[in-house]
Amino acid sequence: MLLENKNAVIYGAAGAVGSTVARAFAREGARVFLTGRNLGTINTLAKEIAAAGGTAETAEVDALDEDAVESHLDAIVEKAGTVDISFNAIGIPQQGMQGIPLANSRLRVSRCRSPPTRNHTS
């Protein structure tokens, strides 16, 4: 298994992409931490993953709230020791962008930082 003994956080796990990725990660041996704004949907997904032999935990997290994400990641590191994979599958509305060729759009580029990686050592 490619992801055996890895901890994976999936933001937006209730959606089509997030749920598919979560199933694939779990099938490959990862312990998946499913997040979303709809606990009912991600709890159902977690039960499905567990029934297939995987390990999944759920939490209601607003992935657009940086403090909420940091707090959630800290809790996972405290519980599991590491976050090995962080996958963002949230949908961000692109009002005014739909149907405009990229070459014709004005994009504001902001400085991006690397996704958080946390290792907990005793």
Q: Domain holding 41: CATH number? A: 3.40.50.720
Domain assignment present for 23? yes
Q: Which residues contact 86 (CB under 8 A, 6 or more apart)?
A: 8, 9, 11, 73, 115, 116, 117
pLDDT at 91: 76
**pLDDT by 10s per residue, the chain, length 122:** 899 999 999 999 998 899 999 999 999 999 999 999 889 999 999 999 999 999 999 999 988 888 999 999 999 999 999 999 999 988 755 555 555 555 554 544 444 444 555 555 54
pLDDT at 118: 53
Domain assignment present for 98? no
The predicted model scores a pTM of 0.74
Number of domains the chain is built from:
1
Domain assignment present for 121? no
